[in-house]
Amino acid sequence: MLARPPNSVDPSHFDKLICVRCGIQYEETDRTQRVNCPTCDDPREAVPPTGQAWTTLRDLYDTPSTRDTAEPKYKIDISTDPREPNVTILTTRPRFAIGQSCFVLTTPHGLVIWEIMPFLDQPTVDAINAIGEVKAILISHPHFYNTPFMWSEAFGDVPVYISSVDKHWLMTKDLKGVIRTWEDEIEILPGAKATQLGGHFPGSSVLEFEDKLFVADTIVVTPAALYHFDRQEGYTGFSFQWSVLSKIPLAPPQISKMWDRIRRLNFSTVYGGWELHAGVMQVVRDSEMDERERKEGRTAKFKILDSMRRQVQAMGHEITPDMGLEL
């Protein structure tokens, strides 16, 4: 194979079918045995116009680059947030499937991996191990339940944390008993706490680490969030979607429930789950507020609340006290 698969994983992972659209891996190895992808059949995702298509890790490892046929097509870009040395960002290039990034978070007690991608190679494993010892993997919601058992095995069978209410979306078998289910909130390691907000999926979660909040698309970071200077009132930096792909918004009761949990969290930076463009992540930082925003107290938390209120109003509802949409 052109790319180097993780050394310590069972090769059986390499031949299981992977949905090209969403990246979810299935137990079947024969394309005639798997007709559809339940994840893409769900209205929160979509089957492409070209129809259902499959690949495997072996295919991904063995696909040559169009620029140099001696090199693999897929690689993982690894970078450290220059403002946050404890945050390492992983992104598959070129984009594959949903295209999310994942994060390696350095704590005094070891590493936590927030989110995973379908593709993983040995150079990436080596780079992560050079940072520290992986203690746990946490996945926010079922759209990222792609190759969890390969990732766990690559780092010594570390536990993989997923929501108990969403565990039925796992499409491969937990042969080594590494899955840990949880509800409401859980401290993965000291200083790294996950909270279930619901909404997108019943167990959709966010991760609070130091003064940072990692939101995937449990909370959607909009393009409007990323410019901070002399902004007029009325823009929304975040949106709250049941289906992100089909633009189906969450109803006011769900938004209120999410805010009830967010208001208890302490953060000054919000990380979305995707790059804005190559090398630039969806990040909203209090430290980047202009003078007007600082005077008005338009922190990242305030912007989430303000976006919630504006979404509720845009859907034709009045903000009422029982919604609890106040700081």
pLDDT, tens digit (0-9, with 9 covering 90-100), for 17-40 = 999 999 999 999 999 999 999 999
Find, among 148, 150, 216, the residue nearest to 180 by Cα.
148
How many structural domains compose the chain? 1
Task: Tell me whether residue 24 is in a domain.
Answer: yes
* 35-81: pLDDT as tens digits: 999 999 999 999 999 999 999 999 999 999 999 999 999 999 999 99
Residue 38, token pair as written in the block: 């339940």
Task: Tell me whether residue 188 is in a domain.
Answer: yes
Contact of 272 with 88, CB cutoff 8 Å: no
Q: Mean pLDDT, to the nearest integer, of 236-251? A: 95
| pLDDT for res 314 | 95
Give dist(CA 279, CA 285) in Å, integer. Answer: 17
If you average pLDDT over every residue of the chain, what do you get?
95
For residue 323, how many C-alpha atoms fall within 13 Å in the half-sphere facing its CB?
18
Task: Tell me whether residue 117 is in a domain.
Answer: yes
* 284-305: pLDDT as tens digits: 998 888 788 888 888 999 999 9
| pLDDT for res 305 | 96
pLDDT confidence tier of residue 235, bands split at 50, 70 and 90: confident
| pLDDT for res 25 | 99
Task: Tell me whether residue 2 is in a domain.
Answer: no
Neighbour count for residue 324 (Cβ, 10 Å): 12
CATH label of the domain that carries residue 83 = 3.60.15.10
Task: Tell me whether residue 111 is in a domain.
Answer: yes
Contact of 282 with 271, CB cutoff 8 Å: yes
Is pTM beyond 0.75? Reply is yes
Tell me which residue range forms the domain holding 182: 11-63+74-323
Task: Tell me whether residue 133 is in a domain.
Answer: yes
Task: Tell me whether residue 199 is in a domain.
Answer: yes
* 215-233: pLDDT as tens digits: 999 999 998 887 766 667 7
Task: Tell me whether residue 4 is in a domain.
Answer: no
Give dist(CA 97, CA 75) in Å, integer. Answer: 14
User: Which residue would you say has higher pLDDT here, 279 or 246?
Assistant: 246
